[in-house]
Structure 1
Amino acid sequence: MKALLGTSQNPGGLILHNYSGGGLAEFAVAKENLTVSRPAEVSAAEGAGLPIAGLTAHQALTQVVGINLDGSGPEKNILITAASGGVGHYAVQLAKLGNTHVTATCGARNIDLVKSLGADEVLDYKTPDGAALKSPSGRTFDFVIHCATGIPWSTFEPNLSTNGKVIDITPTASTMLTFALKKLTFSKKQLVPLVVSPKKENLECLVGLVKEGKLKTVIDSKHPLSKAEDAWAKSIDGHATGKIIVEP
């Protein structure tokens, strides 16, 4: 998935989340239930990366996968695609707070970064095994956090465990068709479209993890608001590592 843009302008030490779209501005108005106080230990740039990428990773892992961030619960094998991107780099870190074995895909230049975030196995998506999503240790996946695009269901299916699920964070019409087909045929392997439902408590959780040093925002680049078009161009290019931040 392309890295999403964030703004490090946080009036009054607040982290704002606007899930209804919008643009970039020096000041923003948001509902109180979508704002979280930013502690001094969390920089504005770090906080700005959390909505909506961090929330997407958090919801996918805690609500759909069902991992416990305290490390309890049965072990799960998880694959994260585009693991160096905006959502992916948060997903790797959050998954490793749970009892998981994480296999990740990314470009060759980001393999060391993704390993440093905690991934147990990392595949270059341009290699044959990476393109086929083959675990180096021969594991099948209980869940896939799918942050990339253009990978067909036929590539995922043979790599899934008996009840494996692919959580698509950018669902398309094709995603919905496959989702419906798998439901209609009572398939044990499922494709799950994720529609993010932002919650204040989830954002508070993420901010707390950053404060405690258990989660970090990888910043690809920072751009002044006057050069916002450069940030958008970099995002559209689709090869950002972590988050692109716009500063006032």
Structure 2
Amino acid sequence: MHAVQYDSYGGGTSGLKHAEVPIPSPKKGEVLLKLEAAALNPADWKIQKGMFRPLLPRKIPHTPATDVAGEVVEVGQGVQKFKPRDKVVAFLIHANGGGLAEYATARENLTVARPPEVSAVEGAGLPVAGITAHQSLTQAAGVKLDGSGQQKNILITAASRGVGQYAVQLAKLGNTHVTATCGVCNIELVKSLGADKVLDYKSPEGAAPTSPSGRKYVMWSTALPASPGQLLSLI
């Protein structure tokens, strides 16, 4: 199958190479996916740069990307939730990667069904960005997404990016007033996601936003790293 890999640290995009590699076989508790979309995250270029060595990646050459969407084509021993032709979203774990290829294996417990109304591209953008936003809101900021908690004023920076877009929408499920910052060209987009107030981050007000209450904001959008296991709570 076709894959995109790198065989040394550094190099950025010029260090990526097209390669022909065997189609992997699913092990116990895994599914084999024919990939339809993959998303890249900051961790992917940091791993390539060597910022996490010797822990990551597990071996070289490495096929990057962990956030994927695709179709199940084969299931390993013990898999019960999925069958061939199921459409899914999966997280592949950073140690192994594998998302920039035609096929990849994923753990059953890090794979979820993809609803028909969610495209492969939309689904692939969910795992790391969505989990990070969810974890930041519920664990760091203490927002109750059922709206039952005390009202909070929340500032979400870089609100037009992956984590920011999820953070705005999830925050509005809770009892929150959301102030968001982004580039001027994305203000209408962020407003459409539900933010109560959207500021150009280059403007004087956007550079030093104030809370409606005059008190310190509860949350910044990059608060915590994500836990892969929380993928199941998001879909």
Q: TM-score, normalised by structure 2?
A: 0.61
1:138 to partner: Cα distance: 6.0
User: Paired residues, what number?
Assistant: 157
Q: Tell me whether 1:15 sits opposite 2:89 in the alignment.
A: yes
Alignment of 1:1-248 (within 5 A): 4=41, 6-11=67-72, 12-20=86-94, 22=97, 23-135=99-211, 137=212, 139-147=214-222, 167=223, 194-199=224-229, 202-207=230-235
Contact 1:104 1:123 in 2 (8 A): yes
Distance in 1 of aligned mates of 2:216 and 2:225: 22
Give CA-to-partner distance per residue, 1:60-90, whole Å, 9 cap, x none: 1112212111111100111000000011000
**Structure 1 residues 120 and 141: alpha-carbon distance in aligned structure 2, compared to 1, 3 A threshold:** farther
Distance in 2 of aligned mates of 1:64 and 1:19: 23
1:145 to partner: Cα distance: 2.0
Contact 2:158 2:182 in 1 (8 A): yes
| 1:230 matched residue in structure 2 | none
Larger radius of gyration, structure 1 or 2? Answer: 2
Give CA-to-partner distance per residue, 1:31-65, whole Å, 9 cap, x none: 11111111223222221111110011011111221
Between the two proteins, what is the percent identity of the paired residues?
Answer: 60
- Aligned AA (1:146): S
**Structure 1 residues 102 and 139: alpha-carbon distance in aligned structure 2, compared to 1, 3 A threshold:** farther
Q: TM-score, normalised by structure 1?
A: 0.58
- Aligned AA (1:9): G
**Structure 1 residues 19 and 80: alpha-carbon distance in aligned structure 2, compared to 1, 3 A threshold:** farther
1:144 to partner: Cα distance: 2.0
Contact 2:141 2:219 in 1 (8 A): no
Question: Which has the larger share of helix?
Answer: 1
**Structure 1 residues 197 and 203: alpha-carbon distance in aligned structure 2, compared to 1, 3 A threshold:** closer
- Aligned AA (2:218): F
Distance in 1 of aligned mates of 2:148 and 2:213: 24
Which structure 1 residue ranges, 5 or more long, are not aligned? 148-166, 168-193, 208-248
Q: Which has the higher contact order (CA 8 A, sep 6+)?
A: 1
Which structure 2 residue ranges, 5 or more long, are not aligned? 1-39, 42-64, 73-85
Distance in 2 of aligned mates of 1:114 and 1:96: 12
1:140 to partner: Cα distance: 2.9
| 1:214 matched residue in structure 2 | none
Distance in 1 of aligned mates of 2:119 and 2:233: 16
- Aligned AA (1:140): R
User: What secondary structure sits across from 1:15 in the alignment?
Assistant: strand
Distance in 2 of aligned mates of 1:7 and 1:33: 14
Contact 1:10 1:16 in 2 (8 A): no
RMSD: 2.1
